[in-house]
Structure 1
Amino acid sequence: MSTGTTPAGSGPETAQGLLLGPLLRHVDQTTASIWVETAMACTVEVRSGADAWRAATFGAHGHHYALVEVSGLAPGSVRPYAVHLDGDPVWPLDDGFPDSMIATLDPARKPRLAFGSCRTSVPHDESGNRTHGVDAMRAYALSMASPGHGRWPDLALFLGDQVYADSTSLEMQEFIRRRRNIKEAPGAELKDFEEYAHLYRLAWSDPANRWLLATLPSAMIFDDHDIRDDWNSSLDWKHHVQKTSWWHERIVAGLGSYWIYQHLGNLSPDQREEDPLWRRIAAHTGPGELDLTADLDEFAARVDAEPESHSWSYCRDWDDVRLIVVDSRAARTLEPDRRALLEPAELAWLDERMRGGFRHLLIGTSLPFLLPMGLHHVESWDEAISGRSRRGPKAWLGERLRRTFDLEHWAAFQRSFQEVARFATEVADGRRGPAPQSVTFLSGDVHFSYVAEVEREGGSRILQAVASPIRNPLPRFLRYFAAALALGPAVPFGAWMARRAHVPNPPFGWNLIHGPWFDNNLAILEDTGDGLALSWLTGEIENGDHMHPRLDIVEAATLRARGDRIRSEEA
């Protein structure tokens, strides 16, 4: 196997033409999508053996991008690939990593995926590890690149906060200072597309993480910090931020850059053909590079003003495992009399896809559907006292608590919670087709990890698995607060508060069956045929070598089908 040596004939200038990527994105049995950002307008070519696939770049805000559609692959095949720009080789690099591979899905093999959320982009040296902990994604990449790692995942699912637009690193702030007065609004937060482009480069250019993203297919969905903390938490929050001088440019840049850097690669070739912006790119025949800036900005502004005009959610099937990834952030209805986490068209989309007939139904949502029970009750109580019909000190207090403690998960949108709980129960009871072994929500956001299970006597298991953070640990005092809400007297007290506010009872009860724990981690989920095997992995510094952390297991659990008991093992 190659050590990642740059092909003969390429020099530093040629290699610099590839600013970011390649990222291996949507992969199925016969196709793969490879995304790049380049330094100039060019033709991007992906080569594998005697085969080659090409795409011209398109421009946005002075940057250049391409997504190359690789087709005609054999199911279950594994092929190394290289990237050329205008005929010059730029990938792989001479950095000691193995060749990047395209591994197509094998219908005979049960799926395996990595998932997690919340990853800050700070250096991986002693200082960065002291303040933010070891990057679990990077530790996994280093292990994956070494001999004897074992089977690679079929997909890496990143469930929000891939970048932090509102809490920037010193490196990002240095870039901001070179462009504008950082003491003027929005200060050290991001302002425009150029700053988003630099933030993504900081997040994805570390050699180990870059190799992982070039080698593992990835799927992504945003959460609040990709735009701003508490994004769309309430109508009051939205009115407040819309009064600022900088918000419109920020939201347009955030959604536009998300479409390019994250969303485009989530889609299959058929799904991309339904996207108006992609059709504009595909239809362009020149001369010159297509400048998508005006169309992209118009699209982002419209989607912010009319969330129902576009869906960021998507669905993938692996033979008899279905993964539904739901936008629980931009698709909200915030008017108090219609308040919902999913606007009607988005809810109908989810309703249509939550069906039986699969061995496992996985629902990826950045926000945990099943919070620890005490926290669930507190959030439902807070929504009830914050309603516009409840004016006065209670409503004021509810809104302040909501923003201060991020009380804006599914529990704080009771209408949506009750509806999706009904969907899940009907699937698990076999009322939407043959019942699967499990209905499992995969989430992040809360900066601690756990497994919860709905209390049921029969039918499929309904589970919640959380992996958070990849790299952004909670301060120690907040860990005690989170643990208190997950366990002990907070549960009955929260239930009493919710009843006092006339919150409807949840349609079922649930318990934490594993956790919580607070390590930086990346979770691995594998279909074993008779259940789901999960493990949470973290990086550990050994002998003071901060650049080469060891991969350790934080926790492991086997979630067996048909009501068998959980078997858990601590590393």
Structure 2
Amino acid sequence: YMSYMLASVPSLMMWDDHDIFDGWGSFPKELQETPVFSEIFKYAKKYFELFQIRSLSNHSLLSKDGAHYAFCLSFNGYTILGLDNRSDRTIRQVMSAKQWEQVLATLENTTEGTLLIMSAVPVVYRDFSFTETAFDVTPWDENLTDDLKDHWRAKEHQGERSRLIMRLLENAKLRHKTDQPIKTVILSGDVHVGCLGVITDFRDDNPIKIHQIVSSGIVHPAPSLLQWLGISAVTNDNIEVINEERTIEASMLKPVGSKRYIRERNFVTLEEGTDDKLWVNWITEDCMSETSERPEYPITPRQAGK
């Protein structure tokens, strides 16, 4: 059934750490560059390129030499920008200078329509800084913190994250000058729950918003209640202030018809309504049960020319 689906349904794919191995890129340099790690990466890259990217002849790729696999394509009023957060990842960077150059050039040339950004790890999520600081003083750093270092909010990646947020806001403002209602949406996963985040820029009278949709891995089991209570105890989802002027904020939203975090395996569908809203529906593993939640959320576009 899986082979039939992959042969029948158009797909856009981007790899994350488990396509190589858990935490790839978030280990110390001396470990990351060992012969064993290098060989594993070489073969993971080979087969990802063959089966998911479908060779370097893929015209949507930003890099034509296989240095990374970021891509961009447009269709029917939508532009999809996929960020490669693994090819060049180190414990100090998420994307290389060259990928950044190509991504920013792509954003400068994306001047209309709705923008969907694929980021394997959420840009907006719970704050793990307390846990990260605690683990930084333990002797078990590489065994316990690779998942923490994988997050955009890890202290080593906060500068890149701020750069990404500000450039996406600049692009959103550029597209809002057209005569069409505009939406900017980050599509993400990795954290084994479903959830919804938003970045709000209050610098204009009519705030610019970037929404983020997170779907859990469809195969990975969701955290148990006890596990989630443990995660909640050492993290928080307070409103985050992004800039010095305190005019840009990031926060977690509550989907309609569910708790803030969806602790069921799920996938997401996006449907554009006749009202120009983008309707987000999390289809959960137990969705047919009478007691199951049915999370959804309407993303309202910012009106044209404002």
Q: What's the TM-score bracket when you normalise by the shorter of the two chains?
A: 0.7 to 0.9
Alpha-carbon distance change, 509 to 484 in structure 1, aligned in 2, over 3 angstroms: farther
Q: Is 2:222 the partner of 1:480?
A: no
- C-alpha deviation, 1:239, in angstroms: 1.8
Distance 1:271 1:350 in 2: 12
Distance 2:244 2:51 in 1: 40
Which AA in structure 2 matches 1:363? I
- C-alpha deviation, 1:482, in angstroms: 3.6
Identity among equivalent positions (%) equals 20
Secondary structure of the 1:370 match is coil
Which AA in structure 2 matches 1:362? L
RMSD of aligned residue pairs (Cα, Å): 3.6
Q: Are 1:314 and 1:325, in contact at CA under 8 Å, matched by a contact in 2? A: yes
Alpha-carbon distance change, 343 to 241 in structure 1, aligned in 2, over 3 angstroms: closer
Distance 1:354 1:484 in 2: 38
Q: Are 1:428 and 1:436, in contact at CA under 8 Å, matched by a contact in 2? A: no
- C-alpha deviation, 1:475, in angstroms: 3.6
Which AA in structure 1 matches 2:97? P
Q: How does 1:405-420 map to 2 (within 5 A)?
A: 405-412=147-154, 413-420=157-164
Q: Is 2:82 the partner of 1:264?
A: no
State which of 507, 513, 522 in structure 1 corresponds to 2:267. 522
Secondary structure of the 1:524 match is strand
Corresponding residue number in structure 1 for 2:45:
255
Q: Is 2:14 the partner of 1:224?
A: no
Corresponding residue number in structure 2 for 1:538:
284
Q: Are 2:124 and 2:252, in contact at CA under 8 Å, matched by a contact in 1? A: no
Secondary structure of the 1:219 match is coil
Distance 1:314 1:225 in 2: 20
Secondary structure of the 1:368 match is coil
- C-alpha deviation, 1:557, in angstroms: 1.3
Corresponding residue number in structure 1 for 2:68:
311
Secondary structure of the 1:258 match is helix
Secondary structure of the 1:246 match is helix
Q: How does 1:49-68 map to 2 (within 5 A)?
A: none
Corresponding residue number in structure 1 for 2:114:
360
Which AA in structure 1 matches 2:121? L
Distance 1:424 1:370 in 2: 13
Q: Deviations over 1:217-241 (max 9, x none)?
A: 011111111111110014x1x4225
Distance 1:504 1:329 in 2: 30
Secondary structure of the 2:283 match is strand
Q: Deviations over 1:224-282 (max 9, x none)?
A: 11111110014x1x422544x633332221111111111116964x458x856xxxxxx
Q: Are 1:469 and 1:519, in contact at CA under 8 Å, matched by a contact in 2? A: no
Q: Are 2:208 and 2:302, in contact at CA under 8 Å, matched by a contact in 1? A: yes
Corresponding residue number in structure 2 for 1:199:
none
Distance 2:21 2:120 in 1: 14
TM-score when scaled to structure 2? 0.78
Which AA in structure 2 matches 1:313? A
Q: How does 1:36-435 map to 2 (within 5 A)?
A: 207=1, 209-234=2-27, 236=28, 238-243=29-34, 246-264=36-54, 268=58, 270-271=59-60, 275=64, 310-334=67-91, 339-355=92-108, 357-372=111-126, 374-375=127-128, 377-378=129-130, 382=133, 394=137, 401-403=144-146, 405-412=147-154, 413-430=157-174, 434=178
Secondary structure of the 1:455 match is strand
Which AA in structure 1 matches 2:7? A
Distance 2:287 2:123 in 1: 33
Distance 1:448 1:468 in 2: 5
Which AA in structure 1 matches 2:73? R
Alpha-carbon distance change, 478 to 431 in structure 1, aligned in 2, over 3 angstroms: same
Q: Are 2:86 and 2:94, in contact at CA under 8 Å, matched by a contact in 1? A: yes
Q: Are 2:192 and 2:220, in contact at CA under 8 Å, matched by a contact in 1? A: yes
Secondary structure of the 1:472 match is coil
Gaps of 5+ in 1: 1-206, 277-308, 387-392, 496-502, 543-548, 564-571
Corresponding residue number in structure 1 for 2:250:
510
Q: Deviations over 1:518-539 (max 9, x none)?
A: 2111110123362211111134
- C-alpha deviation, 1:445, in angstroms: 0.5
Alpha-carbon distance change, 241 to 431 in structure 1, aligned in 2, over 3 angstroms: closer
Q: Are 1:532 and 1:559, in contact at CA under 8 Å, matched by a contact in 2? A: yes
Q: Are 1:436 and 1:460, in contact at CA under 8 Å, matched by a contact in 2? A: no
Which AA in structure 1 matches 2:295? E
Which AA in structure 2 matches 1:478? Q
Corresponding residue number in structure 1 for 2:186:
441
Distance 2:208 2:264 in 1: 30
Alpha-carbon distance change, 259 to 315 in structure 1, aligned in 2, over 3 angstroms: same
- C-alpha deviation, 1:370, in angstroms: 1.0
Alpha-carbon distance change, 557 to 395 in structure 1, aligned in 2, over 3 angstroms: same
Q: Deviations over 1:73-115 (max 9, x none)?
A: xxxxxxxxxxxxxxxxxxxxxxxxxxxxxxxxxxxxxxxxxxx
Secondary structure of the 2:268 match is strand
Which AA in structure 2 matches 1:460? I
Q: Deviations over 1:468-488 (max 9, x none)?
A: 121111341322234446657
Q: Are 2:72 and 2:79, in contact at CA under 8 Å, matched by a contact in 1? A: yes
Q: Are 2:83 and 2:118, in contact at CA under 8 Å, matched by a contact in 1? A: yes
Count of aligned positions? 286
Corresponding residue number in structure 1 for 2:257:
none
- C-alpha deviation, 1:443, in angstroms: 0.3
Q: Are 1:447 and 1:474, in contact at CA under 8 Å, matched by a contact in 2? A: yes
Distance 1:417 1:436 in 2: 26
Distance 1:331 1:353 in 2: 19
Which AA in structure 1 matches 2:250? W
Q: Deviations over 1:23-47 (max 9, x none)?
A: xxxxxxxxxxxxxxxxxxxxxxxxx
Higher strand share: 1
Q: Are 2:67 and 2:87, in contact at CA under 8 Å, matched by a contact in 1? A: no
- C-alpha deviation, 1:553, in angstroms: 7.2
